[in-house]
């Protein structure tokens, strides 16, 4: 998948600007606060209809504008296609592909992106929520059904948490507790199957990438962990469901006492290790950054296997965190597919790439 051209009208700090991209590597450079991440954000929106920085469309609309428009020409599934997004705060956003109205979920059938931002550098060391988000975002793009189950799971989780917090004041809430617990067990069973199979593929794809990227033959491995009673997370949803119910029964009282949901896919994680040791505890700064990027590049391989095309890789401001050799890998050796990389001007990075260079200054793009 390739974004050939994008036009932004009243989007963030872009009044009316267009950019053309190379099908390979594109380095977007400029000083701080000029619009580099905003440009990446607009490309990301082509794949999800949403920003990775805010849930509120009004923040995306340029100051002084009442609406914001993103128009793009993309090449996907061997076709040239056009995407139009119109954001009007207070109204549902309008999404069109080749002039036909689409939902945000349907955009994933046209464009996929893999984003790596400075926040993702914490993927290895931070809490499990980051790693679950990685799985959720990726699987949702590949399997729209997953996004539906996840939304249902989150709805049940919120309800159940409210019951567990408030039942002492309102004992009647307990009438529906078991129903919510059962719904969460069912939804968890399905999420777990998807996540386990995704994690296994990610592990397989990430290991060789990390070996090359680290240059030191480091062995990266990823292992999915879930509810302790689940013996095989790749078993049928029915089998997993029974095993989760077992956990639920054992923890019912503890949930009431603690006021927290203790059973379900909301506690899943990915155990990441380098050379057999837990990366979370032992990896150096550089190792954790490299491992995080390897995981993202592995995600790209899964998209390729699923859709027959590489997704667009968006790398926001990550180069400065890497040493020269690792920078060189990112700039020139990520094969296949299109990459958009943002960086700050003073690092000379734009001279070290064979790709296209775009210069961003105060909401204008040159290159
Ligand atoms: P850095 O190198 O610091 O990451 P950047 O070039 O990535 O900088 P952006 O995040 O793209 O910077 O933001 C560029 C500018 O856009 C900022 O000054 C920001 O305040 C401004 N901006 C953000 N939202 C809007 C908006 N809705 N309307 C107008 N300007 C906005
Ligand atoms: Mg930025």
For the chain, what is the radius of gyration of the CA atoms?
22
User: What are the pLDDT digits (tens) for 55-65?
Assistant: 899 999 999 99
Say how far apart CA 357 and CA 67 lie, in whole Å: 29
User: Which ranges in the chain belong to alpha helices (H)?
Assistant: 36-48, 128-142, 144-166, 177-214, 237-258, 279-282, 285-307, 324-332
Question: How far apart, in Å, are the Cα atoms of 263 and each of 188, 202, 268, 337?
Answer: 9, 25, 10, 40
User: What confidence tier does 324 reach under pLDDT thresholds 50, 70, 90?
Assistant: confident
Q: Which of 8, 10, 11, 13 to mutate for ligand 1's pocket (most ligand atoms within 8 Å of CB)?
A: 13
* Alpha carbon of 322 to ligand 2 centroid (Å): 16
User: What confidence tier does 183 reach under pLDDT thresholds 50, 70, 90?
Assistant: very high
Q: Which of 335, 243, 240 is nearest to 23 (CA)?
A: 335
Cβ < 5 A residues, ion ligand 2? 36-37
Give yes or no for residue 329 having a pLDDT over 90.
no
Mean of all residue pLDDT scores within the chain: 93
Give yes or no for residue 278 having a pLDDT over 70.
yes
Q: Which of 9, 33, 316 to mutate for ligand 1's pocket (most ligand atoms within 8 Å of CB)?
A: 33
**pLDDT score, position 322:** 80
User: What are the pLDDT digits (tens) for 201-249?
Assistant: 999 999 999 998 888 779 999 999 999 999 999 999 999 999 999 999 9
**pLDDT score, position 285:** 83
Read off the tokens for 83: 């995407």
* Closest Cα to atom 9 of ligand 1: 35
User: What confidence tier does 321 reach under pLDDT thresholds 50, 70, 90?
Assistant: confident
The percent of residues above 70 in pLDDT, for the chain, comes to 99
CATH number of the structural domain 1-112+310-367: 3.40.50.300
User: What confidence tier does 291 reach under pLDDT thresholds 50, 70, 90?
Assistant: very high
Tell me if residue 32 falls in helix, strand or coil: coil
Say how far apart CA 27 and CA 187 lie, in whole Å: 42
Give the residue, 205 or 332, on which the prediction is more confident.
205
Say how far apart CA 367 and CA 357 lie, in whole Å: 6
User: What confidence tier does 121 reach under pLDDT thresholds 50, 70, 90?
Assistant: confident
**pLDDT score, position 318:** 84
Domain ranges of the chain: 1-112+310-367, 118-308
- Ligand 1 lined by 151 (C-beta under 6 Å): no
Phi/psi-derived region of residue 16, left when phi > 0, alpha when psi is between -120 and 50, beta in every other case: beta
Read off the tokens for 329: 């890998």
Q: Which atom of ligand 1 is nearest to the CA of 35?
A: 11
Read off the tokens for 258: 């603690």
**pLDDT score, position 346:** 59
Pick the CATH number of 118-308 from 1.20.120.1200, 1.20.1050.90, 2.60.120.200, 3.30.420.40: 1.20.1050.90
Q: How many CB atoms lie within 10 A of CB 98?
A: 12
User: What confidence tier does 81 reach under pLDDT thresholds 50, 70, 90?
Assistant: very high
């Amino acid at each position: 998948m390739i974004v050939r051209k994008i036009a932004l009208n009243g989007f963030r700090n872009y009044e009316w600007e267009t950019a053309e991209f190379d099908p390979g590597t594109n380095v977007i450079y400029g000083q701080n606060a000029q619009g580099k991440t905003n440009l990446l954000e607009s490309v990301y929106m082509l794949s999800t209809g949403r920003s990775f920085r805010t849930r509120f469309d009004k923040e995306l609309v340029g100051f002084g504008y009442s609406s914001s428009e993103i128009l793009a020409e993309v090449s996907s599934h061997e076709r040239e296609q056009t995407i139009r997004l119109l954001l009007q705060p207070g109204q549902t956003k309008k999404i069109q592909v080749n002039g036909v109205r689409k939902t945000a979920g349907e955009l994933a059938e046209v464009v996929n992106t893999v984003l790596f931002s400075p926040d993702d550098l914490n993927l290895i060391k931070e809490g499990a929520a980051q790693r679950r988000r990685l799985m959720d975002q990726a699987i949702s793009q590949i399997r729209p059904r997953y996004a539906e189950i996840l939304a249902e799971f989150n709805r049940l989780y919120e309800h159940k948490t409210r019951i567990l917090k408030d039942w002492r004041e309102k004992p009647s809430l307990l009438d529906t507790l078991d129903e919510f617990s059962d719904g969460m067990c069912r939804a968890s069973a399905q999420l777990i199957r998807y996540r386990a199979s995704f994690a296994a593929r990610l592990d397989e794809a990430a290991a060789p990438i990390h070996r090359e990227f680290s240059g030191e033959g480091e062995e990266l491995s990823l292992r999915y962990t879930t509810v302790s009673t689940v013996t095989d997370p790749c078993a049928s949803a029915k089998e997993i469901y029974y095993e989760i119910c077992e956990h639920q029964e054992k923890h019912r009282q503890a949930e009431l006492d603690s006021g927290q949901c203790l059973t379900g896919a909301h506690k899943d994680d990915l155990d990441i290790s380098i050379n057999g040791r837990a990366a979370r505890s032992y990896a150096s700064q550089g190792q954790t950054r490299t491992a995080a990027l390897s995981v993202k590049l592995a995600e790209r391989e899964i998209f390729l296997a699923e859709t027959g095309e590489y997704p667009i890789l968006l790398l926001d401001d990550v180069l400065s965190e890497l040493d020269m050799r690792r920078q060189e890998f990112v700039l020139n050796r990520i094969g296949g597919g299109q990459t958009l990389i943002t960086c700050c001007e003073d690092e000379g990075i734009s001279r070290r790439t064979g790709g296209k260079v775009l210069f961003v200054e105060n909401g204008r793009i040159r290159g």
